[in-house]
A = this chain, B = another copy of it.
Amino acid sequence: MEWREINLLKKFSDEKFQKINLFESERMFCDIYCFKPGQEQKIHKHEGSDKIYYILEGQGRFKVGSEEKEFQAGTSIWIPPGVEHGVKNSGSDPLVTLVFMAPKPLH
């Protein structure tokens, strides 16, 4: 049986936000992203894949397409294929999100 305990895996760097893989197959991947205050994932998009963020702790400012909105822990956000998106830790505490993508991008 394969399991991961998030509190043992999360980690932060002064250099940039951290991506830690939990599980992956040809069909999907599941990561956690760990942002110190002020760190961000720049605007980008994935053709052909759905992406879901779930905020485990902290708060983040999400840009999705032309919209921008602040969310707290306990919120899940869906990014459909081809839609530009980015995230910034807009709070004073760490921001940790689960990220699920399907299918796994080819690049």
On A, residues with C-beta under 8 Å from B are 1-7, 22-23, 25, 27-28, 30, 49-50, 52, 54, 62, 64-65, 67, 69, 71, 74-78, 80, 98, 100, 102-103
Chain B nearest CB from A67 CB (Å) reads 4
Q: At the interface, is chain A mostly helix, strand, loop or mixed?
A: strand
Contact yes or no, A50 B77, CB < 8 A: no
Could you tell me the distance between the alpha carbons of A27 and B52 in the complex, rounded to whole angstroms?
12
| Chain B residue nearest to A104 in the complex (CB) | B102
Say whether, besides A27-B49, A50-B28, A2 and B98 are in contact (CB < 8 Å).
no
Chain B nearest CB from A37 CB (Å) reads 22
Say whether, besides A78-B23, A98-B98, A30 and B5 are in contact (CB < 8 Å).
no
